[in-house]
Structure 1
């Protein structure tokens, strides 16, 4: 599976792991920034998160139209580059700045990473025969969940460590003050930026030549009669084997007949 020609299974799984480390982890810290640093209510936070949902919806609709025309690598790079930009803006965000100046940029650029999810998932599943597509899709899904789990654990640890060190250097602040928390949130943003940048590097180097998503089907293309090529090949192999066996039987029968006739002729001659 990992060496299946044309699927790029290994690079795509690594890409998804590090990409979703940054994506879901940053999506976790953004609401915390609104509530713990800006001290907004849950309703105010929810309103500020609305552009993220709208951006994700538009991204997936547009992806559905362009995925058949734009090379998959380009789409993945666009999605990851947008997420990198979102992480950088979050890490440099000014607490007292207007929502529209920086926070809004984070909201609309982060969900564009969904392009990479759609394209990578189609590439992984369509590159395998029918009996292996479920396994390939499961591995892809596990990579996203594992990346999210590991990302949240590691990044939260880094954020807490940085906040604790900042608090020791500035004892005038309490441990839960916005200034202390923001130091850790910035560290979390840079951590997410690093993981998504690594994913972007993998996309640039590791998935070159994958073509259009969903159209590279060297094994699972359908024949006119609806059979898979792989099944047709197996059917032909079985038919060839049966034909060969039948021919061998015919030869054996013919040889036995010749031997019998020869023996009869010899007996007649002796008499």
Structure 2
């Protein structure tokens, strides 16, 4: 054989070796990101299935029980934007590894909690790890896979981590709670193990972080403070309003609500201002003779006031003629419905019907198989079915899952109401998450991928907190009304202390609330969302500068 032939053979072997490495690296990226999502959702679902056991062991009042669920999404939702921005600036791999380590440490701390206050605080710190990990994972997937079938498969697999983690949390969490001496503490060890695997995979497979392509790499700390403080105060009020001394008329509740709303409004105004300043400065630099009025005004602002790039560009919400904003709102409403459904189904089965955690798990098992089937469906058909149809059908089915429990007959067999509800409840969550994250990734610039994912995840996390909170308020109000009508004056520290016939209408009212959230998401999709097939291989980031350019021209 000639030397040339030997060289060609050697080159071919090297190429095959590179392909094999690339394949394993691709698998490692997808698996690591998916495990992060599994750990995130498993932690929350395991807590949900363990709530009655925690309630008895730590003597948690019914009105305060939702804080165990809400503390994690509250802290996570309030800091996702900041951590998404930091991931885009300083490296998605660094953010992913640091967030995973943080989540692991505080998950371990939750397992050793001895009172409700400590558990709530540690759950809040646990959420900071999610706030760093999930945007970094979304940004990594968007950066690693170009638009097309590979990206659809990656995002669908990542989205499958939600039902897989939710199912693993329910099943394994229920088994561990029921059969181990550690009871509700054992599921936190499970989260630590899954997170450790995710970290190990990320260290081996994630590409080395590349410097940000942005010229201005400053961080908007003013905006970070405004949005974090504002959202913390608002969600604190929503959760604490029911247990405050004078409930919603308590002075500090009213004050915190007003201050929180003002801070969020100031954040939005500040982000709009920063974006206008940055755009005006760029136009002045590129076109010195443009004579932009805002550029002249921004000169003083740039000189006397720190004006870094905004954490969240307000123009992101207006892209695709407002389609991105609709997707964010649909995700928020759908999660209000879905997470509220999970919260009240668990309490209904365990506190009202009297099932053990294990028997409750068995009745929720269909969610796992439906969730995996939904994400497989997305991976196969997202290139062929318009996103509007997928999201509208998904949100309607999730709403109907809540409707079944709002109409449930407690004497009916499980197959009449419980089984079909468990089958369809997860469809909306999977369809909205998979399609929504792909759609947002297409509309974001390369240096905005983590931030775009962070905004989407913020809406789902806030939806989780608000859905549970509002439905809890409805539950308590209906229960109080029933007590007053029937002359009861009992301690309602736990729902299980009430007579069953008294609490049943309150459970149904909470489910009606979840149904309303789900139908609002469905109607919003049908009326305002006009999105076709999103899985095609034609990259659309070029559409983003066009939208931004239109905004710039309108400012001249």
Output the TM-score relative to the length of structure 1: 0.77
72-81 or 126-135: which moved more?
A: 126-135
How big is the shift at 1:88? 1.1
Report what 1:122 is aligned to: 438
Separation in 2, partners of 1:95, 1:177 = 14
**Shift in Å, 1:7:** 6.8
Q: Which residue does 1:149 correspond to in 2?
A: 465
Which string of whole-angstrom CA distances, capped at 9 and with x for unpartnered residues, describes residues 82-138 of structure 1? Answer: 112111111000001100111111110101111122111111111222112221111
Q: Deviations over 1:219-270 (max 9, x none)?
A: 259xxxxxxx97xxxxxxxxxxxxxxxxxxxxxxxxxxxxxxxxxxxxxxxx
Mapping 1:71-220, distance limit 5 Å: 71-113=386-428, 114-171=430-487, 176-208=498-530, 210-215=531-536, 217-219=539-541
SS of corresponding position for 1:101: coil
Q: Distance in 1 between matches of 2:322 and 2:433?
A: 15
Closer/same/farther in 2, CA of residues 192 and 185 from structure 1, 3 Å limit: same
RMSD of the alignment, in Å? Answer: 2.0
Deviates more, 1:25-34 or 1:49-58: 49-58
Cα displacement (A) at 1:212: 1.3
Partner of 2:375: 60
Paired positions, count: 222
Off by >4 Å, runs of 4+ in structure 1: 172-175
- Check conservation: 1:7, 1:127, Cα contact below 8 A: no
- Distance in 2 of aligned mates of 1:24 and 1:108: 15
* CA–CA distance in structure 2, aligned partners of residues 109 and 173 of structure 1: 39
Larger relative contact order, structure 1 or 2 (CA cutoff 8 Å, min sep 6) = 1
- 2 CA distance for matches of 1:116 and 1:20? 9
Distance 1:43 1:201 in 2: 36
Check conservation: 2:442, 2:541, Cα contact below 8 A.
Answer: no
Hey, what does 1:17 align to over in structure 2? Answer: 332
Q: Structure 1 CA distance, aligned partners of 2:362 and 2:499?
A: 24
Further displaced range: 101-110 or 48-57? 48-57
Alpha-carbon distance in 1 for matches of 2:474, 2:484: 16
CA distance in 2, matches of 1:214, 1:146: 27
Distance 1:128 1:184 in 2: 43
